[in-house]
Amino acid sequence: MTNVRSWQFWVIIALALATMACAGRRERREERRERAEQRRAERAELLAQRRAQREAQSQPRAVEEPAPPPPATVVAVSSAPAAAAVADATSQVVFMRVSKQSAGTTAALFDVTEPGEPKYIGTVGPSTKLSYALKPGLYTFMAVGDTAEFMQAAIVGGRTYYALVIPRSGAKRFTVEPVRRDELGGTEFAGWDRGTRIASSAARSQAYDAADAADKRSRYWTQWSKKSEAQRAELTLNAEDGR
């Protein structure tokens, strides 16, 4: 009897130990499952955050239109008459054609700020420049060859602004692009200025086809309007670009 009871005792002990081991394994499995679910949830949250960041970065950013010239009242002056004089002071835009490319062609320049017939400014050939006097305000200029390209400008009184008339290869086509204020003191600009002569009076009085200029203005303005805000900003003379 003693041996039988001893055998039964050890069987009970073994069964108890096996039951405890199984319970331990179940607990460990539950713990691993909970940790795996927690990691999945954390990964899902991280992926959602990254996706939201990418979507935010892919949204186009609004580009501000060039600011209009400041009114006379914000100009720091000692008296009202002096402020009025600054506001009314005549400015000028100097159009420079530096490149000698397409030497046999000329670019006709127009002021197309107002509706109606384009206002003829003059014609520039290779290595020439001409200046255009104007009052403070917002302007749109057009360079005409086989096509028409545009540049806008915010002009303040008493300053001189500069723009490059650039021939494009493959066609009688010209773009007109602003020269920024930080370029005016550089050696490259000094070379442009020295390398261009003032256009003759004949270049200002040269005959042009008004109907053709008006037609190109109408046709190519549509293309300008399709440019992005950033592209138009690159082709705009800002008020601070003058000196």
Count the helices and strands in the chain (H runs, E runs). Answer: 6, 10
Does 189 fall in a domain?
A: yes
Query: How many residues would you count in the chain?
Result: 243
Higher pLDDT, 199 or 149: 149
- Cβ neighbors of 216 (< 8 A, separation 6 or more) are 142, 144, 147, 148
Residue 2 clears pLDDT 60, i.e. is over it: no
Q: Give pTM, 2 decimals.
A: 0.63
Token representation of residue 163: 């723009």
Contact by Cβ (8 Å): 203, 123 = yes
Contact by Cβ (8 Å): 102, 167 = yes
CA angle 175, 153, 169 (to 5 degrees): 5
Residue 179 clears pLDDT 60, i.e. is over it: yes
Same domain (yes/no): 15, 118: no
pLDDT at 71: 40
Same domain (yes/no): 51, 94: no
Choose among 144, 138, 195: nearest CA to 161: 138
pLDDT at 23: 62
Does 227 fall in a domain?
A: yes
> pLDDT digit string (tens) for 8-23?
666 677 676 767 666 6
> pLDDT digit string (tens) for 47-67?
666 666 666 555 544 444 444
Mean of pLDDT over the chain: 78
Does 235 fall in a domain?
A: yes
In this structure, of 26-30, 41-45, 132-136, 201-205, the range with the lowest mean pLDDT score is 41-45
Same domain (yes/no): 122, 224: yes
Contact by Cβ (8 Å): 192, 163 = no
Rg (alpha carbons) of the chain, rounded to whole number: 37
Residue % of the chain over a pLDDT of 90: 48
pLDDT at 202: 66
Once rounded to an integer, what is the mean pLDDT over residues 87-105?
A: 82
> pLDDT digit string (tens) for 141-160?
999 988 999 999 999 999 99
Contact by Cβ (8 Å): 119, 129 = no
Same domain (yes/no): 46, 155: no
How do strand 137-144 and strand 173-178 relate by DSSP bridges? unpaired
Does 176 fall in a domain?
A: yes
**DSSP 8-state secondary structure symbol assigned to residue 182:** G
Does 215 fall in a domain?
A: yes
Identify the domain containing residue 147 by its residue range. Answer: 89-241
Same domain (yes/no): 129, 191: yes
Same domain (yes/no): 134, 233: yes
Structural domain count of the chain:
2
Q: How far, rounded to the nearest angstrom, does the alpha carbon of residue 166 sit from its chain's CA centroid?
A: 20
